[in-house]
A and B are shown apart, each in its own frame.
Chain A
């Protein structure tokens, strides 16, 4: 009988915290910048320089922790994780080993209409390392490597889940959901492409019904949501093949190759480091007052799940639409603010999802960088509802707003796009069209009702789309009686 396999996945997610300064010094915490300009003796690991914990880092970690339903630990400490690598200035990473700042949380996800709680084992604080740029393809095959320590000392939280995910899709949905929580709570930029959100996965297979975990494989280098899902799907298939052929899975770390669409061995278990963790004697333990934690909890914004629920329950949106609109806080805010001016949630939702997201995607632009304000969109939709412009014109105006950031009324006025509903003004055009299209006129009179549509289209063309189609229709029908 064929064995049915069950997939077990756990994720380890690193998120850079967007605090003003780095975790242990006062250097600016900014992405980019000229190489080695956001550095000081502390983050360069010069001898004698000492780390001092940035309080904002602790606050952000606690904020993420409460948003993810964790128990915030009143006592946690920092440890040194010792290993040599040129991007690590002190040859040890300051991290939290056995006493992390947050424990035992969870995040609820929804896949195919089913809700599932994914447990979070822990969230701990640590510092990021610098960045290396190799002259060749890897550090060992390069003539030289360049080191940039701007990122060294950038604060990170590492979020470790329990092995509660059972498919590649669940893993992707979890990561998207987690991304939304971190974005809503404003603790991280959560940009996978800039590396401010990174995800590694542990995956193993076991026969359905078995309670024992199979040998786990660590997968690294998945730099997008799609990459995570593809890599895991690939790995499930690969492991299943090995097992079904009677083979054994050996514990190792594999890297996802996006171009080749496959994973390859990075290092075996034997090559794994002994990090020699020990408490960092340069830092005092973190002791948190419960009152402070409660203050942070009270200051949390509405989280994605609650917001989605509200859009469905109170505004009557579909679960799908609500999900799309609440995937990022910025988008959800944009929606809410538009609805606040023009209270037609479904119309607004449609416009945002079809027109706005369409333009953003086509231009590869982020919402935050777009020039359109919620008030401008609401105004456009109101003008359209009042019949001052047609739907077609509205889309044109919107494209112009998107490109220039100008108010819709201004665009309509400047380009003379106001809808012409005045019968007197349209009569001349209608007459002209009738005169120029004797064949269509004849067809219509002969009973071909479709010919009217053609004539309306000609009037619209003559008026560059400004004519009110309803009025044109009425005029034509009257004149052709």
Chain B
């Protein structure tokens, strides 16, 4: 039974279909595992034991009746705690929403419920998605299952740690500038951020609305395709949701990269990525060439402006998105002598340091005196970046980079120093351009995972799945062993 923990969703589904195991057994196994390891990993803010067992029983019941079930039916999953679950508290790892129980659920939650997947817990994150290490959670820091001294990455560090630590088979989180891919890279799992608008944002508590995108954390590419099949598609409740027919992502799982043209923004990586990670990365490039892909250097004209543009947009949008937490209608309320002091006290005590910093920055860049110099300029540069990337993708099928400038570092370390600037400098480009991006594990350095990142044109998911699947099938670098307390 214990060997179940290391398996992927589709491997488990095969056992469920053959009735070798039941969903109830599987979920119990996971709940036991959570009890065993989560006091050390601290991936979960809320464990939904009761609901999980009930959902598992229902999935088993349907299977008994011979109902045809989805590939995710009965499989344990975790959700980043910024995704609303009706009747289950959704905290965004903030004091502000510590006891907030939404009366509605996110569209992706609805879709997973339709697929009969089983929610086992809600995962820790940097408060409201603002951060890169999950140390900005108002509750506690999450630890990297590969090395408990290390950060799991962030913002969705809890979700990545849950998948890497055997607390869930897969997880959903959000990616604003790398919030899924960066923890995926640090924790050695697959992180996928689809094209902006391809997965509904309804019911997902926003960080920066024009950058946020829901994505998945899985143990292999097949699970990634199955999760995308379940959650993507047009949602009339989200105006930014793209319309049109949805693809079957499993069709993209082809073991063949022959003739693919892969661009490497060498100049951008130089000085940003630490040498050890660069060395691992170069092996991946070599491997892809051996498998028949053509890799070539590309230059990005606006590269110096990428991080600044990203930071301005995040701060501006977050400052406005977080304004609704004022203590009037729901969430934390600290009474004051009048309404203004109620606002001030509630927000002073309810929000953490990083959220406050972003609010101050965002308020500044949107102020009428600064708007043109910062926010408007950032919008213009963003348009130029999009335009340039569109041109790059006329020539190349995808871009390849390391996911992060460094591997995971110790909790409490000076991350800006270690990551030579910004930890999300390689990932935020995809969010600015709204394009799909994949982070794939690529071995480890002293026990800490390295991540490869692939970017493609908007709606160019197929190439990413193709490259990811080919590397998965032809190397032993992409599927790392389950970590945490020794798996019995």
Contacts and interface: CB of A to CB of B under 8 A. Distances in A.
Contact of B328 (A46, A147, A282): A147
A45 B325 CA distance: 10
Interface stretch (B36-44, B50-58, B96-104, B448-456): B96-104
Given A41-B104, A90-B324, A145-B339, A284 B363 contact: no
Contact of B239 (A47, A51, A140, A276): A51
Interface string A269-287: 0000011111101111000
Interface in A267-305: 274-279, 281-284
Given A84-B323, A90-B324, A145-B339, A44 B238 contact: no
Contacts of A44: 329
A86 interface: yes
A47 B339 contact: no
Interface residues of B, number: 47
A278 B366 contact: yes
B106 interface: yes
Interface stretch (B143-151, B200-208, B263-271, B274-282): B200-208
Q: Is chain B's interface secondary structure helix, strand, loop, or mixed overall?
A: loop
Nearest to B238: A50
B317 interface: yes
Contact of A91 (B97, B203, B326, B366): B326
A403 interface: no
A284 B240 contact: yes
Nearest to A149: B329
A126 to B, nearest CB: 16
B473 interface: no
B205 A47 contact: yes
B324 A49 contact: no
A282 B205 CA distance: 12
A50 B371 CA distance: 25
Nearest to A41: B104
B363 to A, nearest CB: 7
B323 A49 contact: no
Contact of B240 (A41, A139, A281): A281
B42 to A, nearest CB: 24
B343 interface: yes
A282 B209 contact: yes
Interface in B349-385: 363, 366-368, 371, 375, 379
Contacts of A46: 102-104, 330
Contacts of B202: 48-50
Nearest to B106: A48
A384 interface: no
Given A80-B320, A281-B209, A140 B338 contact: yes
Given A274-B368, A281-B317, A86 B328 contact: yes
Interface string B87-111: 0001010000100101110100000
B32 interface: no
A457 interface: no
Given A84-B343, A89-B329, A140-B339, A48 B205 contact: yes
A49 B371 CA distance: 27
A234 B318 CA distance: 45
Nearest to B96: A47
Classify chain A: how many residues form its interface, as a range. 20 to 34
Contacts of B70: none
B84 interface: yes
Contacts of B339: 86, 139-140, 145
A281 B210 contact: yes
Contacts of B238: 50, 52
Interface in A234-280: 274-279
A398 interface: no
A124 B60 CA distance: 55
Contact of B367 (A45, A49, A276): A276
B316 A90 contact: no
B259 interface: no
Contacts of B367: 274, 276
Given A44-B329, A51-B239, A276 B368 contact: yes
Nearest to A91: B323
B292 interface: no
B324 A91 contact: yes
A276 B363 contact: yes
**Central interface residue in A46, A90, A92, by most chain B CB within 10 Å:** A46
A82 B323 contact: yes
Contacts of B324: 45, 47, 89-91
Contact of A90 (B83, B102, B323, B338): B323
Contact of A47 (B97, B343, B366): B97
A51 B209 CA distance: 12
A53 B238 CA distance: 10
Contacts of B371: 276, 278
Interface string B148-173: 00000000000000000000000000
Contacts of A279: 379
Given A48-B90, A50-B238, A91-B320, 12 more contacts: A41-B102, A47-B102, A48-B83, A48-B204, A49-B104, A80-B320, A82-B366, A91-B326, A147-B328, A274-B367, A278-B320, A282-B209
Interface of B: 82-84, 90, 92, 97, 100, 102-104, 106, 201-206, 208-210, 236-240, 316-317, 319-320, 323-326, 328-330, 338-340, 343, 363, 366-368, 371, 375, 379
15 contacts: A47-B84, A48-B83, A48-B90, A48-B204, A50-B201, A50-B239, A82-B319, A84-B340, A86-B326, A92-B320, A276-B363, A276-B368, A276-B371, A281-B240, A282-B240
Interface of A: 41, 44-53, 80, 82, 84, 86, 89-92, 139-140, 145, 147, 274-279, 281-284
- In the A-B complex, the 6 residue pairs with the smallest Cβ-Cβ separation, listed nearest first, are A91-B323, A281-B210, A276-B366, A281-B209, A47-B205, A48-B203
